Amino acid sequence: MTEPQGTGTTLERRPDELPEGVGARVGLGALRILAAVAVPLLAFIVLWMTFEWLRDADANRGVIVLVAVLVGVVGVFTLYWAMDFMVNRLPARFRESIRPWVFVGPALVILAIFLAYPAINTIYLSFLDARSEGFIGLENYGFVFTDSGMLRAIRNTLGWIIIVPSISVAVGLGFAVLVDKLRRGEAVAKSIIFLPMAVSFVGASIVWSFIYDFKIFGSQTGLLNGIWAGIGNEPVAWLSQEPFNNLLLMVIMVWLQTGFAMVILSAAIKSVPEEIIEAARIDGASEFQVFWRVVMPSIASTLVVVMTTMVITVLKVFDIVWVLTNGETGTEVIAERMIRWFFRNSHNGRGAAIAVVLFLAIIPVMAINVRRFKAEEQIR
Amino acid sequence: MTAVTSPVGATTPGFFKRLWDRWPVKVAIIVIIVLWLIPTIGLLVNSFRVKSITEAEGWWTVFSKPFEFSQWTFDHYASVLNARGFGNAFLNSLAVSIPATVIPITMAAFAAYAFSWMEFRGRQILFVIVVGLLVVPLQMALIPLLKLYTSGEFFGIATPFPHPLNGTYMAVWLAHTGFGLPLAVYLLRNYIGSLPSSIIESARIDGATHFQIFVRLILPLSVPALASFAIFQFLWVWNDFLVALVFLGGTPDVKVLTQALADLNGAYGQFEHVLPAAAFITMALPLAVFFSLQRYFVRGLTAGSVKG
């Protein structure tokens, strides 16, 4: 119970203890770290106490949900406010150099624990053997770049990250632009493209089995074979047709992910100031020109963001392949190999090494982003 | 798509503008919508069809005989809704999803503001690292985090990390927050960073603190971006099965909706025919959220803020 107050008093007492001059730098560093850690720590304690109380109170589910929502919605925000309040009480010369860490620190702390730590752990495991017991150097990496399944996976993944994001973004952008011109029904139209995103993973695999299904006997239950047989052909086991089956799997991903591109790009299109577009129209620009010369430059940064996100999402895709073809008939992808080696074949080293390849694959994409940030900051 | 080319070089903007406003746009929209709907319609049809018919014939055959009422049934929906602990699982899913949506958005919005409009050392490199963390596969994080949660073990060393955290809502909230943060920071930084600098500068000149600017200006102006991320984060958490299974466990009192439905399917898949119905039931709430957030995707929030 006393812990939250304890953290508070330390923070307020700190400035008085700080020595003037050189020592202040050390103190400043400590304060920055403290500012970053304090919010997650406080949040943690508050959540913990709430949880303890709920367990002791043996409250019913309705109350628990209500409290959980309150803590989530109000609690976290209040903590930031309290931290900012404390920073305002610091001596003026520290204030502005500590404040950014109150804003950015909590996110960094959470990320350090939940993503950076597992990532470093994975890199470490990639140099160990199957059971993470002995150091075997680069042997796992040798496997990654020589195993025939892995090489096919790398080839296929390359196809995935080129084809899926470009189609999804193109369709998503086109749809967002078109639907923006509707006077009515925009929400309904967007919901339909968004709908696949709401289909859970289990749902998506069933949905597409109703399209790609193949039966040796009896009438076909998959639409594709229904049409194919309808125009007088023998039914085909679509998902075993190499290399065509890779495209069929990509179609599913496009179907699922276009909603993401559409929603984000639609928000970006709507934030293009109306007066600029009107001005262009008054100057006699056609709708086509308005789109390419006014709207596109304004949403360029969002396009890069959506593209980057999609490439990363596609890099990590494994469940579609896992369920529909089990990674057989030449449909391996990198993430599917990773899961297979790490969890199914219980070879931690190889699984981790494949994951590290995923990390490395993102470097070119990040380089493009870095260049864009720098350019953006300069023109601001 | 043909609509895009038609108004090129329009000499009479009035006519082409009207043309553009009318049918090509609508035709293009309808084509995309139909393509996107086909798979879902298959799911919808089979969710209402008797098991034996679903297995024997394709779902599209229904359109040739829609009034043959013997093929229709509500049984699948009934058996999902009557599944043991369904109501409880629904509430648990809410208790997991709402804070696991709000917490990362709040944290990400503050961080995105700092990354866009505050000066501190390492700003660029930290941001790049945050976005780079997007690529960490969730599955690789599960085992190290589970060890941390259950025994406080960090890189194989025992730490005073408060354990056992596992099996609590907080464990799942924090995990989802961690997994959702990179994308949230990335999307929000892109949006918040593109707000007109004149707004922020004039507020600074008027003596507003960063916190005031954030709450009174940035948050209201970022509503479309916040709403779009909220939709996706809610969706992922709502549809998540793995994170909840690992960090919350599958005991009846904390079971979430996806787990309740997976149990329905059973070890032998004997309830496979109710899965389409289950898929539609889980979809209902995210779609409602999407619809209700639609009104925040409005234009002109920054209207009047840009001079010239």
Over residues A40-83, the pLDDT tens digits come to: 677 667 766 766 666 655 556 677 777 777 776 787 888 888 88
C-beta of residue A262 within 8 angstroms of C-beta of residue A194: yes
In a domain, A183, yes or no: yes
What single-letter DSSP state applies at residue A90?
A: S
pLDDT score at B67: 75
pLDDT at residue A56, as a whole number: 59
Contact between B28 and A174 using a beta-carbon 8 Å cutoff: yes
Same structural domain for residues A178 and A308? yes
A13 pLDDT exceeds 70? no
Average pLDDT value for chain B: 79
* Distance (Å) from the alpha carbon of B272 to chain A's nearest alpha carbon: 10
Write the pLDDT tens digit of every residue in B11-66.
455 655 655 556 777 888 888 999 998 888 888 888 888 877 777 777 777 777 77
Residue contact B91–A221, C-beta within 8 A: no
The enclosing domain of A261 has a CATH number of 1.10.3720.10
Spatial distance between the Cα atoms of B3 and A362, rounded to a whole number of angstroms? 36
B125 touching chain A per CB within 8 A: no
**pTM (predicted TM-score):** 0.83
Tell me, yes or no, whether A74 and A155 share the same domain.
no
B100 touches chain A (CB under 8 A): yes
Nearest to B190 among A101, A201, A302 (CB): A302
Residue B224 has pLDDT above 80, yes or no: yes
Q: What is the pLDDT of residues A220-257, one digit of tens each?
A: 778 888 888 888 788 888 888 888 888 999 999 999 89
ipTM: 0.83
pLDDT at A23: 67
End-of-domain residue from the set A105, A122, A155: A105
Count of C-beta atoms within a 10 Å radius of residue A343: 14
Does B63 contact A at CB distance below 8 Å? no
Chain B residues with CB under 8 Å of A287 CB are 7, 16-17, 20
Q: Show me where the domains of chain B are located.
A: 2-73, 84-296
| Adjacent-strand bridge partners of A128 | A135
Confidence of residue A203 (pLDDT cuts 50, 70, 90): confident
| CA nearest to B144 within chain A | A118
Task: Tell me phi and psi for residue B67, to 5 degrees.
Answer: -100, 15
Contact at CB, B9 and A286, closer than 8 angstroms: yes
Arch. (CATH architecture) of B84-296: Orthogonal Bundle (1.10)
Residue A321 lies in a domain: yes
Q: Which residue in A355, A312, A349 sits closest to A336, CA to CA?
A: A355
Q: Is B307 left (phi over 0), alpha (psi -120 to 50) or beta?
A: beta
Residue A336 pLDDT grade (very low, low, confident, very high; cuts 50, 70, 90): confident
Full residue range of the structural domain in which residue A15 is found: 3-105
Instruction: Give the helix ranges, DSSP H, for chain A.
Output: 3-17, 22-57, 61-70, 76-88, 92-111, 117-125, 139-144, 148-180, 186-198, 201-212, 223-230, 244-270, 274-282, 287-289, 296-315, 319-324, 334-339, 348-361, 363-379
Distance CA B110, CA A105 (A): 9
Instruction: Please give the pLDDT value at position A60.
Output: 66
The reply to whether A146 and A100 lie within a common domain is no
Measure CA B291 to chain center: 13
Residue A272 and residue A198 share a domain: yes
The confidence score (pLDDT) of residue A10 equals: 39
Q: How many structural domains compose chain A?
A: 2
Same-domain check for residues A261 and A339: yes
Average pLDDT for A280-285: 87
Same domain, A226 and A346: yes
Q: So what's the pLDDT on residue A51? A: 64
Q: pLDDT confidence of B7, banded at 50, 70, 90?
A: very low
For residues A64 and A164, membership in a common domain is answered with no
Contacts of A115 in chain B (CB under 8 A): 133, 136, 141, 178-179, 181-182
Report the half-sphere exposure of A240 (CA within 13 A, side-chain side).
6
At residue B209, what are phi and psi to the nearest 5 degrees? -80, 165
Q: What is the pLDDT of residue B308?
A: 34
Does residue A174 carry a pLDDT above 60?
A: yes
